[in-house]
């Protein structure tokens, strides 16, 4: 069936009847029951206004005027404003911006497979996007090269975890583009169509063909703005030889985490320490494989052909580590109150997603939330996570008591999202107190008695930290003894948005940079 789809795509391209590319931003409902939904439409491009679009130049335009950017036929232009006879546009490769004649660009967005393939990213970011699980060989990205004479590069996924990078040359005299000087094209559009049209889709993993780009790879489709994980978990297998393990990042009772590389892409590699944990590690990987959301740590694959036969889980690397540790650093202590609220907002968006797809985390705490280089956060550590209807109880010594709902510590407890809601309230406390230990004055038996008697965490204000009454009210609602009276994550998310709106005048997800997956 997959091969038929590829043939159908290639035929449509050859006929000049391409399926319209996904325009920016793709329109989708804010929330859906789809397992692989994203909070906001993901895209690597800069945020555009509602009347802007990426298109290609129909004619050459050479000018010395600073108000008009020069471009050649086929150049990618982002049109950001429209007037009667001229358009404000920026040349994506050169970054120059100005007014251009209306007649010099196409307004038919569905004609350009060039704009469909364009990502304004560097080589390393292109490799990261092309190495995502679910990206097939033959998937490609057109990106900036950094050279004024030859402004484009083409990155293509090959077999395994190989990525091929090709310089797109421009012949100034002939006004043509090419990858190989013996075959030149008057536009980028025609060049990409050519390498589409000569590719035979059998077999999917290309055998050498004389007319392919380099005798090894050809083009099947532009890298989609959003990639769904493979349906089969086995398709996420990564060979140990393709991994390079480097320094140790952390160690626990059951596993150790390393910084690693796949090509130039930094990854985190979690390794089980003893064979008895391999099954649990694989179960964790299978849960992560099913999840796809911007606020959930991205699963990249698993490995089980290591020399010592241990199971490895490979995920994206989050440069600033665990949120708990980050909050306690000098950099973390410099975070303002509004930034702490933003972190809480990000976490609840990830939990709304888990709630919608029927996944209970069971170990939500600041230590299991990771911080990226830009300060954004993602929910991680799915070692205790179970999909609803999976009947399993936990041993007492594995229960993180300070974050665990009362009912979750009772015999016969069935996993429920409302227990995660309780934990989320404690995470709010951790964030607003810059990593203070919850209930630090109690040991576990004392804490259990305190909670059973109706005791709860005090407001961060009582410890000298900023916390509005409305925010503490949200926290308190998470700790209702009756799970049914606790709010859903969707309701909590709405309350936090309303609080930000009242505080700032409007709600803007400033943490969301429209990064695709």
Query: Which is it for strands 255-262 and 244-251: parallel, antiparallel or unpaired?
Result: antiparallel
Catalytically annotated residue among 38, 345, 363, 381 = 363
Indicate the helix (H) or strand (E) that contains 416: none
Beta bridge partners of 262: 265
| CA 280 to centroid of chain Cα atoms | 25
Which residue is it, tokens 């939330």? Answer: 369
Query: What distances in angstroms separate CA 151 from CA 122, 169, 270, 290, 301, one per listed residue?
Result: 12, 8, 39, 38, 33
- Cβ pair 316, 300 in contact under 8 A: yes
309 marked as part of a ligand binding site: no
| CA 418 to centroid of chain Cα atoms | 26
Which residue is it, tokens 């049209």? Answer: 197
Return the closest-CA partner of residue 350 out of 298, 419, 426, 294: 294
Is there a catalytic annotation at residue 345?
A: no
d(CA 266, CA 258): 10
Residue 371 — φ and ψ, nearest 5°? -115, 130
d(CA 156, CA 93): 19
Query: What distances in angstroms separate CA 46 from CA 91, 129, 333, 379, 511, one per listed residue?
Result: 13, 17, 30, 25, 14
Contacts of residue 39, Cβ cutoff 8 Å, sequence gap at least 6 = 30, 293, 294, 295, 349, 353, 509, 512
- Cβ pair 382, 392 in contact under 8 A: no
Query: Which is it for strands 359-360 and 386-387: parallel, antiparallel or unpaired?
Result: antiparallel
Indicate the helix (H) or strand (E) that contains 283: helix 278-289
d(CA 63, CA 84): 21
Query: Percentages helix, strand, coil for the chain, rounded to the nearest 5?
Result: 30, 20, 50
Which residue is it, tokens 């740590």? Answer: 297
Return the closest-CA partner of residue 155 out of 213, 101, 99, 201: 213
d(CA 279, CA 267): 22
Strands (E), 344-449: 359-360, 369-371, 377-379, 386-387
- Cβ pair 347, 376 in contact under 8 A: no
Residues comprising the binding site? 271
Residues comprising the binding site for ATP? 271
Annotated catalytic sites, by residue?
363
């Amino acid at each position: 069936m997959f091969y038929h789809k590829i043939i159908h795509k290639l035929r449509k391209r050859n006929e000049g009847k391409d399926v319209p590319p996904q325009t920016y931003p793709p329109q989708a409902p804010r929330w859906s029951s789809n397992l692989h939904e994203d909070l906001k439409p993901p895209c690597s491009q800069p945020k555009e206004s509602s009347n802007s679009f990426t298109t290609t130049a129909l004619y050459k335009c050479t000018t010395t005027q600073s108000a008009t950017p020069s471009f050649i036929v086929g150049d990618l232009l982002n049109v950001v404003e429209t007037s009667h006879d001229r358009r404000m546009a920026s040349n994506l490769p050169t970054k120059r911006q100005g007014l251009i004649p209306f007649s010099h660009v196409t307004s038919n967005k569905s004609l350009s497979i060039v704009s469909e393939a364009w990502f304004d990213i560097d080589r390393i970011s292109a490799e990261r996007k092309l190495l995502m699980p679910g990206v097939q060989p033959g998937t490609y990205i057109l990106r900036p090269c950094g050279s004024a004479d030859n402004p484009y590069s083409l990155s293509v996924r090959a077999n395994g975890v190989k990525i091929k990078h090709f310089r797109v040359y421009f012949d100034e005299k002939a006004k043509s583009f090419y990858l190989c000087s013996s075959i030149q094209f008057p536009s980028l559009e025609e060049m990409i169509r050519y390498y589409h049209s000569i590719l035979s889709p059998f077999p999917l993993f290309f055998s050498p063909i004389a007319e392919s780009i380099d005798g090894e790879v050809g083009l099947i489709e532009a890298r989609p703005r959003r990639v769904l994980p493979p349906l089969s978990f086995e398709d996420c297998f990564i060979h140990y030889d393709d991994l390079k393990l480097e320094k140790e990042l952390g160690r626990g009772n059951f596993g150790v985490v390393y910084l690693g590389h796949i090509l130039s892409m930094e990854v985190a590699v979690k390794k089980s320490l003893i064979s008895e944990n391999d099954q649990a590690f694989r179960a964790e990987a299978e849960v992560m494989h099913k999840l796809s959301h911007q606020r959930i740590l991205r699963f990249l694959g698993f490995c089980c052909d290591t020399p010592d036969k241990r199971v490895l889980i490979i995920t994206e690397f989050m440069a600033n580590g665990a949120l708990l540790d980050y909050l306690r650093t000098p950099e973390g202590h410099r975070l303002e109150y509004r930034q702490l609220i933003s972190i809480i907002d990000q976490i609840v968006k990830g939990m709304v997603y888990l709630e919608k797809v029927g996944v209970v985390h069971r170990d939500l705490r600041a230590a299991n939330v990771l911080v990226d280089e830009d300060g954004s956060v993602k929910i991680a550590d799915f070692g205790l996570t179970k999909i609803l209807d999976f009947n399993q109880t936990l041993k007492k010594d594995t229960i993180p008591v300070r974050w665990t709902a009362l009912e979750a510590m009772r015999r016969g407890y069935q996993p429920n999202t409302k227990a995660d809601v309780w934990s989320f309230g404690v995470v709010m406390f951790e964030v607003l107190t810059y990593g203070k230990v919850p209930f630090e004055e109690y040991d576990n038996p004392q804490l259990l008695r305190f909670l059973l008697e109706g005791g709860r965490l005090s407001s961060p204000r009582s410890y000298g930290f900023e916390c509005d009454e409305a925010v503490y009210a949200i926290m308190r609602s998470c700790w209702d003894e009756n799970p049914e009276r606790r709010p859903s994550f969707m309701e909590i998310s709405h309350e936090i948005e309303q609080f930000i709106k009242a505080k700032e005048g409007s709600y803007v997800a400033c943490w969301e940079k429209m990064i695709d997956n």
